[in-house]
Amino acid sequence: MADQHHHHHYDEGTYPDEILKPFGFLLVTVIGSLAFYNALVYLSDWDSFETPYNYIGAFYYYTLTVPLLFVKTIWYRVTEVGFTQYPNINFLLGILVEFIYIVIIANIIYFISAVFKQITGKPKRKVVFYFFLPALCGLFWFMLNLLISWLTAT
């Protein structure tokens, strides 16, 4: 009689998708977070970049780095300096204040995208395109510079 139970046999080195997906997601999240953090650190030196990269760097510094660094500032002020003499209450207040800050930032982003939609009639997702437009212009400028340098090399 044939075996009623179906066993999955995997070759060594291969795994089912159910196992790989979470690890892939975790890997992409960790690498993406590290890249994002390094970009924020890099943007802190925007004023030392060459033109036009300094303007692009300033745009992203003030739209990304400053609001994110403010999270750290809020946390320090509430938990370390403290509203009260009780560290546990300060910790909970820190979480509450951070949550309120994140809600405020999310509402600002939503408001800007809604205003953009009213002005242009374009969908809100186009805001993302326009947010990355300075980076695309910087990339274009860099590639053009590279091409001209290569063409005129002696």
Number of folded domains that form the chain: 1
Q: Within a domain: residue 13?
A: no
24-36 average pLDDT score: 87
The number of beta carbons lying within 10 Å of the beta carbon of residue 57 is 23
- Give 47-90 pLDDT, tens digit per residue: 999 988 999 999 999 988 899 889 889 999 988 888 889 999 99
What's the pTM? 0.65
Least confident of 7-11, 60-64, 94-98: 7-11
| CA-only gyration radius of the chain, Å | 24
Q: Which domain holds residue 107?
A: 20-151
Q: Within a domain: residue 123?
A: yes
Q: Within a domain: residue 14?
A: no
DSSP 61: I
Q: Within a domain: residue 130?
A: yes
Contact 4, 26 (CB under 8 A): no
- Residues 88, 94: Cα–Cα separation, whole Å: 10
Q: Within a domain: residue 1?
A: no
Q: What's the angle, vertex CA 47, arms to CA 43 and CA 53, rounded to 5?
A: 70
Q: Within a domain: residue 39?
A: yes
